[in-house]
Amino acid sequence: MRAWARISVFFLFLVASTAFGFEYRVTGVGGEVTVQREGSKRRRVVKGEVLKAGDTIWTARDSIVTLRTENRHYRVFPYSLVELKDKPVIVWGKLSSSPGAEFPDIRFYFYPRPAQGRTLKIGLRSQSEALLVTSHIRNDNGYKKEVLFYHLEEGPYRALTGFDVELLPDKYWLEVRAEGTASTTWIVYPFYLKASRYGSGRVYIEQQKSSLFSPSQKKKKEQEELGSVLSSLSDEARWKGKFGYPVKQPVVISGFGKKRIYYMNHERSMTRYHRGIDFKGEVGDPVFAPGDGVAVFAEERITTGNTLVIDHGQGVFSLFFHLDSISILSGTPVKKESRVAEIGSTGITEGSHLHWGLLVDGVYVDPIDWVKMNF
């Protein structure tokens, strides 16, 4: 055989092999599943037919479809859109891949409605096998944030994350990959981030405290120290159930998310968003732990005064600012409603009050949600 002929035969074999690898035989259909090929109309998928790269599959509320390639099985679950290429690519919905025809039953939940300044709880449950879960949230404007899942003792995998008060209201995607021993499941969930209205207010700083706003090496060091504490994550969820208020009679004098305009010497100095809640209180009034945890920081800082941080576990931290005194040492375990500090007026503040900030997955969120809901 001449060289050019051998090359032609090899090329045809390669093309045929590649094309075969891109074919998907429909091995099962439940409900109404539709497919569209480029340049053609959408039509119903039937069992036994062969789909090819370039086809797009839609499943509806109660529909499902299973596909088979030369060495892999796939299942497209309800409410999904999948593009067939050399491998199926999920646009939204749920897709599982397995070397056999069995697929794990992985259930997904997601609440409450995502909004600026709010906490989001994401859950997966699998009764068939242990999973390695990786996830992130992204949008089309360059935002991307990793979301950490933790395996709880009672079985489900849970992630808690938050959305900053200044994060752009936009369309986002939650993308989850759950990898088992022999199977992998992808979940892509699109959502819109709701804008929140938190209002605005003014803060007047006394002249003798104006020097606290000046940059310094000490301030920088304090920021680095606190940042190191807040980046050390515990795998254990130390809290249980809803949080409690950190004061006996909670009266909010400045709510979460408020746009605050600072004035020094009657001149506008800067604008900040309030990433916490201020409660009314007199110097010496008791402060209580809102949930079980461990004190991981108990120090005086320039801007926040006497500062206490409680690690509730799995990336959830309570931060208390402007305290008069702290009743416990760093490293001390605390129980919900145990006394941990006293209200004060230290650091940058107009007067005596308690500032409670709640950090979830590196984002400050509204603590009131944790008093009202069980995360």
The CATH number linked to 260 is 2.70.70.10
SS3 for 244?
A: coil
Q: Same structural domain for residues 184 and 254?
A: no
SS3 for 89?
A: strand
Can you give the pLDDT at residue 210? 63
Q: Same structural domain for residues 93 and 110?
A: no
Can you give the pLDDT at residue 19? 43
Tally of residues, the chain: 375
Q: Same structural domain for residues 367 and 218?
A: yes
Can you give the pLDDT at residue 209? 63
38 located within any domain: yes
Tokens of 66: 């299973």
User: Rounded to two decimals, what is the model's pTM?
Assistant: 0.88
Q: Same structural domain for residues 180 and 236?
A: no
Can you give the pLDDT at residue 211? 64
Q: Same structural domain for residues 32 and 150?
A: no
Q: Same structural domain for residues 341 and 297?
A: yes
> How far is it, in rounded angstroms, from Cα 189 to Cα 187?
6
Q: Same structural domain for residues 134 and 56?
A: no
What are the pLDDT tens digits along the chain (375 aa)?
454 444 444 344 344 444 445 899 999 999 999 999 888 999 999 999 999 999 999 999 999 999 999 999 999 999 999 999 999 999 999 999 999 888 988 999 999 999 999 999 999 998 777 899 999 999 999 999 999 999 987 679 999 999 999 999 999 999 999 999 889 999 999 999 999 998 887 877 776 666 666 778 999 999 999 999 999 999 999 999 999 999 999 999 999 999 888 787 777 777 888 999 999 999 999 999 999 999 999 999 999 999 999 999 999 999 999 999 999 999 999 999 999 999 999 998 888 999 999 999 999 999 999 999 999
CB atoms within 10 A of CB 191: 14
CATH number of the domain residue 142 falls in: 2.60.40.1930
200 located within any domain: no
201 located within any domain: no
Tally of domains within the chain? 3
Q: Same structural domain for residues 242 and 366?
A: yes
Can you give the pLDDT at residue 367? 98
80 located within any domain: yes
Can you give the pLDDT at residue 212? 64
Q: Same structural domain for residues 249 and 273?
A: yes
Cβ pair 293, 238 in contact under 8 A: yes
199 located within any domain: no
Can you give the pLDDT at residue 6? 46
Q: Same structural domain for residues 242 and 151?
A: no
214 located within any domain: yes
Q: Same structural domain for residues 215 and 177?
A: no
Among 67, 98, 129, the domain-final residue is 98
| DSSP for residue 255 | -
Among 137, 158, 192, the domain-final residue is 192
Question: Which residues does 25 contact at the CB level (< 8 Å), separation at least 6?
Answer: 48, 49, 50, 51, 67, 68, 69
Q: Same structural domain for residues 249 and 351?
A: yes
Quote the domain boundaries for residue 216.
Answer: 208-372
